[in-house]
Structure 1
Amino acid sequence: PYHFFTRLLENLRLSGNAQIDANLAAVTAKLQIPGQPILERAVLAGQRRELLAARWLINHLLATPQPRQINDQSQPQAAEQLPLPVVNIPSDRTITPNTPSLLSPRALQATIFTSCLNKLQSPLQNVTDVSLEIDILRPDKKRELLYLILQKVADTLDDLRNSQIEIRQLSDIKSAILHELWKEVSTEFFGKFSRVRFGNNQIEIINVILQSSGVVQTGILNQIPLVVDLFSYLLFQTDLIIDNTNYSAGSFEANQQAEMLLENLLIQVGNAVVQPLLNYLGDIEDIKQNFYDRKLISTREIERFRNSLSWKYRIKNLVTEPKAIFESRYDLFVFAPRGIAKTSIYAPRRQELAELSGIRLWVTLGLEFGDAIAPRLQSLLSFLGSGVVFVLTKIVGRGLGLIVRGILQGIGSVSLPEGKNKKS
């Protein structure tokens, strides 16, 4: 009976822990999705705390009692013959292993690309406070463009494998890879021989797009972070170092980080494809009918959208980017259940910080000065606030109390003679 009771408790504890761990992993994964409302995150955080508390209770209430140690030599032999407890875990509960997988580079790439492909089925509405060039596209055109970029990235990886490139060469050819990717996507998305009427002339769209290669390369493509790390991971299964953490190649965490980098790459290349169209052919009727969202087809809305993008790049160049460099982070755009969201990851950017100059440098100096003076200023304001409260409550309050008391006494002294006069 004792061993039966012990095995029963152990089965219950392990089975309960398995279910709690599965639910805990699901809730934790949802908490890591960017762009969620604050209320939903609070609910998920509460569920996570409840699961942790439930696991603690199970481990303490269903703890297996330890039998007394017996010096008899025959006891261990008898214990070895006891069957091990069997734990039945429901088949619909799966726990994601943290150990690295043994997938080949192509299989690893297929896993990550399939996950990204599934996310593209979700809404692609921009839920951030930052305007993106692809926001002007119709939902079907936006999805088509991102599908095409994903396909071209896969083709680029195949070409790099066939060329037997080495890891150390990726940094040298990064710009060329991104430029060729942008060129191929633009040509296929707009059509190699597609023409539109511009004034009295018929012009090829792709020729106008490719004339902006220098601006696009400098302003967007070269600013995409950690492209070399992503390609190195997909081609050579190197470990990923994200947020100051080393993720083993093939592990669940590493694949998640690689998906984020891939999603940001797709979105930024999409922005690079659409930007020349907005700058040079943005108000042509054929372009509006074939590509634009119907909410942004009027000339006023197009100009407002272009001005918003222009301000975005000015603010980013002068304020947002220096701040991100000073805070050692990169901003990434990713696919979330509600649409395109923004998240941040840590990355060392000391060299970029040393190269800042002009207004960008003064922005970082202002942030540093604010960090240095803010605690002291807060302490000073707190002290002054306490002094003001003391003056108002102790001195002014007592003074007002004395004044009110004097007024009441004066009223009483006046009313007393009047009462005597009435009696007389």
Structure 2
Amino acid sequence: MTPDKIKLFIVDRDSIFRLGLRTAIAQYPNFAIVGEGDMSNDTWRELTQGLVLNVLVVGSGFHDSTLETSSLEFCQQVRQLYPRLPLFLLTTNFTPKRLAKIKSLGINGYCDRSSSINTIIEGLHTVAYGNTYWQNNPKTRPKLWQTALSRFSQSGRIELEETLREIDERLSNPNLSDWDRVFLIGRKRELLTARWLSNRLVAEEIVLSEIPDEANEGKLVLSTPTELTPLPVFADSANKTIFERVAIDIQLGLSNRTNIPLEIDILQPEIQKSLCHLILKRIGDTVTQIPIANILEQNYLDYLQDVWSWSIEAFFTQYYGQLTLEEEQQLSNLIEQEFTTVEQNIFNYIYGIPELFAYLVGEPGLTIDNVIYQSDAAESIAHIEFLLHNLVIHLANGVMQVMLNNFYDLENFKYQLYKLEYKSDRQLARFRNQLSWKYRQEKYFEHPQNIFESRHRLFILSNGIRTLFLYAPRKIELEQLSGVPWLTTIVIEIRDAIAPLARKFISLTGSGVVFVLTQVIGKGLGLIGKGIIQGIGSTLKDVNRRK
């Protein structure tokens, strides 16, 4: 066995349970616990400080479905951030349905929370060495005829499992044609049904053994430990907590949960995070250079432009390669030319830049909805985090706007940066057209409507990118509107004015239609039907009398 220790990190809401588990594991010399915590942001912060782990141990709630769900959600977030990190779950109330849910989340091992330490160690050891571990549960003993049928059908069931494995391997091929994929999915569905029926009949499942590695056959090899992606390191200041929280929010994912197309949607998830972390780090460095004197007189647009231009140069050279002096000058000239366009399309819609920078520089207090809060109040911190979310996302969109306007067709960027569905020229053109329509719609419709409704739209991070509207008086901006934006507000006002009358008219019209249908036409049809029925009855009576 390799002398390397198995590195663990324990996550559980119960601090007493973590202490007991840590003490019990400490007696095994081939294990090392590198950290522990609950499911709070502090734990995320510790996990993203460059740790190297073999297994992440997650404990669930004790007979509490709510805590159980939160534990599984935590595992799901970890799986999204670190796909190769083995997860080992300690839970209660085991059922086959719950085991299926656990497996679907990509969890590598399960053990009952109340199991002996030897059983838990066995499970951790198995998962650390690249295998899965599902604690055995008491089963009913199969009947004699099921045992005989199991032996008779074993070869066929093994062949079925091997066929399913081959289909899964073929389905993992990204270049598979749509026709072949549909055929294989249908074939897999049929085989899964056959497997379910056979398992029910023989009360036994076939588990294929992993194909052994000839070079390592006969010895156990510890899986390569996972190095957790470190977050940007911020200076030790009053803003450190805010920046670290925003960094964690970025790390948890930037999936677009809005119906608004964003420039960064074209990027691969890890590239999105890398760009936003780059911008956040630059904002932190810029804040430390702003003089605290005359805070309100600072031209924050200059700082915004500096962060944006620096981020473009850093992001471009990171994936394009080292530039010559001539290429650097050309890129600088291009950035200067593009600033006016980016300012009109993006920067003019960023809300709260003065109060954000003033807070980060050190101005005491923060006014929210005409209420003054202390700088360290929870309301102030949450408000500043939202503003910082919004600024980072807008700056990232501004960086990508320059890239899409000038370098969108570089093959080097297509394969390194873009998602798979945006690598073709047709999809790229469609995506850029969507962005062009978005700029027009925001300029002529969305922005005037927000002004008319006295609100600002923010992009915030909450398990993805979402929208948040904040109230703010905008009378001066409303008076300055002209042209199509001004006409938009007039149309909205007219619509609001006639809406009650229109609803009342529709209501009266509907009531009249119902009256006509029920009282006039309905009764008329009823009388006609009644007359027909009476006529038929009279005819039948006459026939009977004649008989």
Aligned length: 312
**TM-score, with structure 1 as normaliser:** 0.68
Matched residue, 1:101:
none
Shift of 1:245: 4.7
Instruction: Please say if residues 459 and 468 of structure 2, whose CA atoms lie closer than 8 Å, have aligned partners that are also in contact.
Output: yes
Residue by residue over 1:79-134, the C-alpha shift from the partner in whole angstroms, topping out at 9 and shown as x without a partner, is xxxxxxxxxxxxxxxxxxxxxxxxxx974311211111111220211111111111
Task: After TM superposition, list the pairs within 5 Å mapping 1:120-159 onto structure 2.
Answer: 120-159=250-289
**Equivalent pair of 2:242/2:385 in contact (CA under 8 Å):** yes
Task: Answer whether contact 2:256 2:465 (CA < 8 A) is retained.
Answer: yes
- Which of 271, 291, 295 is residue 167 of structure 1 equivalent to? 295
Alignment of 1:7-406 (within 5 A): 107-161=237-291, 164-170=292-298, 173-191=299-317, 194=320, 207-243=333-369, 245-337=371-463, 339-406=464-531
SS of structure 2 residue aligned to 1:410? helix
Query: What's the % identity of the aligned pairs?
Result: 38
Higher relative contact order, structure no. (Cα contacts within 8 Å, ≥ 6 residues apart): 1
Instruction: Show structure 2 runs of 5+ residues with no match.
Output: 1-39, 41-65, 67-234
Match of 1:211, SS state, is helix
Does the 8 Å CA contact 1:331/1:342 hold for their aligned counterparts? yes
CA separation in 2, counterparts of 1:242 and 1:321? 22
- Give me the CA root mean square deviation: 2.6
Letter in 2 for 1:256: A
Aligned 8 A contact 1:242 1:347 in 2: no
> In the alignment, what sits opposite 1:21?
none
Cα distance in structure 2, aligned partners of 1:144 and 1:106: 22
Shift of 1:215: 1.2
Distance 1:252 1:378 in 2: 44
Indicate how the Cα distance of structure 1 residues 237 and 333 shifts in structure 2: closer, same or farther if over 3 A, else same: same
Q: Secondary structure at the residue paired with 1:160?
A: coil
Q: Matched residue of 1:332: which SS?
A: strand
User: Which amino acid letter does the alignment assign opposite residue 135 of structure 1?
Assistant: D
Amino acid at match of 1:147: H
Q: Which has the higher helix share?
A: 1
Amino acid at match of 2:283: V
Secondary structure of residue in 2 paired with 1:108? coil
Deviation per CA, 1:209-246: give whole Å up to 9, x if none.
44312211232123211100111112233433345554
Distance 1:360-1:130 versus aligned 2 partners, 3 A rule: same
Specify every segment of 5 or more residues in structure 1 that has no aligned partner in the other structure, as ranges.
1-25, 27-43, 45-104
Maintained 8 Å contact 1:263/1:334: yes
Q: 1:295: how far off?
A: 2.4
In structure 2, relative to structure 1, the CA distance for the partners of 1:366 and 1:176 (3 Å cut) is same
Counterpart Cα distance in 1 of 2:542 and 2:439: 83
The alpha-carbon distance between structure 1 residues 412 and 192, as it changes in their structure 2 partners (threshold 3 A), is closer
Shift of 1:384: 2.1
Retained in 2: the 8 A contact 1:149–1:269?
yes
**Secondary structure at the counterpart of residue 118 of structure 1:** helix
Give the corresponding residue for 1:413: 538
Paired with 2:345 and 2:380, the residues of 1 have a C-alpha distance of 29
